[in-house]
Chains A and B, each alone.
Chain A
Amino acid sequence: MEDEAPPPPDPATAGATRCCWRCRKFYSTALVQACPHCGAPAELSVPLAASTGPGVEGQAVSKLMVACGLLLATSIGFALAGRSVDEEEVAADPEVAASLLRGLTIFEVIDTAIVAIALLKLHKVIPFRPAGGSAARGWTMLGPLLVVGLGANFLYHWGVRELTGVEPVAEGVYAHPGLLPWVVLVYCVQPAIVEELFFRYLCLGAMRPLMGTGAAIFVSSILFGMAHLGALLSLPALIFIGIVLGYARVASGTLLVPILIHFLHNLTIVLVGMYDAL
């Protein structure tokens, strides 16, 4: 039978008290240099006094929240700037479509700069390859997860169209196949790399130690959905896709799998949209 956990230590002696990293029981380093309960070396355990306060993960989350606020601000800025644009006009005139893409490119450069700064500040405290993932499993699941994400997206938008007659996403730029390389760059390549670095590497990585894997995937997915505020009606589908991408990141332990799923997902949407527009 397991020993009962000892009572919390006296705060007066907390400086010399450590919480064992292996069995999480308390002991005094003034008496022993290894955990008397399981024998784990003391130098790896957490000094009790240092364990209070927000900690490294809490500070990382605070910085990420600021970065999220900035990303949200650029998202609103772009949505407000593009609100006066008539999608029918964009579909009819390639010059207007090119001008819209120029605006989008500027906002994506700003987003990329915000994420780059967050990466510079936080890459040392968030492990790039978290424990528990298996690259082989991740690559095996790439196809099924892509199908699930795309299926959910098409099903949701089809449902909204059928039930309400409202087109949740109208993209006039799809009517111009000549702009395809530019569209692929700003709709597929940049979001796949920058958003995965931010939401699946930084956010998910900072939240996992604080709330567990499942909750971290869910919260980072809500954050991912909220960052796409310009497509408010697509929010449920975006949150679901965020969960799929988060799962891909955790299951594979690598960022390449979610980046590829995100890229192929967006590319499919663009190609289907262009095919429909022709």
Chain B
Amino acid sequence: MDTTTAPLGSLAQASRTRQLKVARWILIVVGILHVLFYGFMYSNAEEEVETVFKQQMRAEGLVVTDQALFDSEKAKAVKTVRLIYAVVVALAVGMVICGLLVYKAPVPATMTGLIIYVGMVAAFVYFDASNLYKGIIIKVLVIVALVKAVQAAIAYHREAAALGEGGPSLEA
């Protein structure tokens, strides 16, 4: 069913549907961008670790004395970095799925999307504190839009239930 033309019962419901639509696209677009970016980072992990190792060795004036140990540590670091990127890609896929489910289950989908997004931002801050300031305006806008979407979804659910529409689903 086209939700934009669905009989919503009130102007407030129509406005909430617009907020849900915005949240749906935010979750899908942000999720896909994260999948693409961190998918690329996953495939590029070896070069990334190599660069970081070289920079650190140059900065601290270190030289490799045991090549086998160095290679084994590097391989371990690559695996750790890849595992982290794999978890982030999985979370981003979760965001896309939440976006796709926004009309079917508005409250769980928007809430899960918000939790995953905030969790991902927090994880990047944990890995590098300077990530807090990078793109902070976009991050704040996305979080505000998702919070508003959660509130809209809750209000939509309550009104739909009160109007006897049989639950939160916006689809026929």
Contacts and interface: CB of A to CB of B under 8 A. Distances in A.
A229 B126 contact: yes
B162 A25 contact: no
B108 A218 contact: yes
Interface in B6-52: 9-10, 12
A166 B79 contact: yes
B125 A76 contact: yes
B46 to A, nearest CB: 14
B142 interface: no
B126 A52 contact: no
Contacts of B145: none
A233 B159 contact: no
B20 to A, nearest CB: 14
B151 A210 contact: no
B80 A166 contact: yes
Interface in B120-172: 122-123, 125-126, 129, 147, 150-151, 154-155, 157-159, 161-164, 168
Interface of A is mostly: helix
B57 interface: no
B6 to A, nearest CB: 13
A76 B157 CA distance: 33
A53 interface: yes
Nearest to B159: A52
Which has the most chain B C-beta neighbours within 10 Å: A5, A51, A210, A222? A210
Interface in A51-93: 51-55, 57-58, 61-62, 65, 68-69, 72, 75-76, 79-80, 83
Interface in A188-224: 207, 210-211, 215-216, 218-219, 222-223
B154 A55 contact: yes
Given A210-B107, A219-B111, A219-B112, A80 B126 contact: yes
Interface of A: 5, 8, 11, 19, 24-26, 46, 48, 51-55, 57-58, 61-62, 65, 68-69, 72, 75-76, 79-80, 83, 160, 164-166, 168, 207, 210-211, 215-216, 218-219, 222-223, 226, 229-230, 232-233, 235-236
